[in-house]
Chains A and B, each alone.
Chain A
Amino acid sequence: MRESAGQPDSALPDDRDARLQAYLDGELPQDEAAALEADLESDVSLRGELDSLRAADSWLRREFAGEVGAEAPPLPDADSIPGGNPIPFGLPPQLVAMAAAIAVIVGGFLGYQAVTAPATFNGQDAYNLAAASFTPDVICDTPEKFRDYTSKTLGVTIDADFTAPVALIGWTGVDGRYIEAGNVAPRVLLAESAGGERIITIFVRDDQPRPALRGDATINRFTRTIDGVRVYELTPLDEPVVLGVLSAE
């Protein structure tokens, strides 16, 4: 508004902006900073521009407040790959085997070969084995049952669109019963795409240990967080189909 002869340091808009931004970054030499502060006293327009630049930074800090103090989740234990059980909970052997299969598949999605993985590891075979071995012991075949089960086992109510072009076959719990809070076993939802491909979806709460990750590029993995629940979709398809039909209440 006012680039008058009385404001020689801010004669050009670009200079003016560069000067303000350098001031904001604490990069102006002391004498130049003092001169700018004097200008700010008398130039309302200049002060308004500085306020807007500051407000931009403030908005970014508020918008991304959660990122600044974010803590790294534990890295997977390399020693538990590939033979061990990377999901630490005491379960019947068949369920431990299932969990190990899940872990293998989850890792398969990443598309990276683990340090200790044998060169011949085949993620597709592991996926096929796991997909065929699941026997749903809790069937959530209606939206109401699905919501009730997620609420009781995950502490979060998740909705699923049962009219979507994917069949949600069932939900596998650890032992077929509702699990008390604090149990760290993953919940597994089985689904079938319109083309008949079986899809495994794993739900893990953010405060629970995650399946270990290891690698093979032959399985696709997609993830999404719904209200503090991490959902992994393991699929032979190139695109996720289950994640798109889930939503928080």
Chain B
Amino acid sequence: MAELRLANQTLTREEFERLYREAYPTLRVVASAVASRAFAEDIVQQAAIVALQRLDRFEPGTNFKAWMSAIVRGAAKNQRRSERRHRDRILKSADPGDGTESAGGASGGGRRSIPGEIPGEIEPELRNALASLGPQQRTCILLKALFDHSYDEIAAIVGIPSSTARSHVHRGRKKLAEILGDSKGMG
């Protein structure tokens, strides 16, 4: 009985591609939060290939983003391990100040000045604060700020309880807000 659904309830490639396109920005953010942004696109594409090979494991009607996110997180963790090894190697071999750009630094957000009221000098502090969050918390806060996903949805995507997702967002947001608040006080 349970086997019946396997024969006729898997996604077609076309259905997969449609859902994948819809989920893509979210999946990129999940990848960015775990590994560096420079690799996000590749990570998501790798995950999509894996997902295509495992379509029979996805049950239509269930949460596609959550299913894909789990695969993306796995691929991103592998990439992060690789980045760490590479960074260590570069740090060991590169002469200080030789101008060599380490992998992952090409498309990360590290150079633009922020328009508006935020003083440019606190950008590094904000980025450091964001980087200091755990990958799970970083994912939560980004999904909330960028897409305004509900906490239930964030929880499903990250694979944690909704209350934890809420707590991650609140604490992460507060951490950034304190930096911004301090900068106003100083200014």
Binding site for B on A (CB under 8 A): 17-18, 21, 25, 48-49, 52-53, 55-64, 67-73, 75-76, 78, 110-115, 161, 164-165, 213, 215, 222-227, 238-240, 243-248
Contacts and interface: CB of A to CB of B under 8 A. Distances in A.
Contacts of B114: 59, 62-63
Given A59-B114, A70-B24, A72-B24, A227 B106 contact: yes
B89 A71 contact: no
B109 A64 contact: yes
Closest 6 A/B residue pairs (Cβ): A56-B176, A52-B177, A72-B24, A60-B145, A52-B181, A247-B101
Main secondary structure of the interface of A (DSSP, over half): mixed
Contacts of B146: 60-61, 64, 67-68
21 contacts: A48-B184, A49-B177, A52-B180, A53-B173, A55-B117, A57-B144, A59-B118, A61-B146, A64-B146, A67-B32, A70-B24, A72-B24, A75-B48, A110-B46, A110-B49, A112-B46, A112-B53, A114-B53, A223-B39, A223-B42, A239-B86
Interface string B156-187: 00000000000001100110111011001000
Interface string B132-161: 000000000110111100000000000000
Interface stretch (B3-11, B59-67, B92-100): B92-100
A111 B45 CA distance: 13
A72 B103 contact: no
Interface of B: 13, 17, 20-21, 24-25, 28-29, 32, 38-42, 44-46, 48-50, 52-53, 78, 82, 85-86, 89-90, 93-94, 98-104, 106-107, 109, 114-118, 126-127, 130, 141-142, 144-147, 169-170, 173-174, 176-178, 180-181, 184
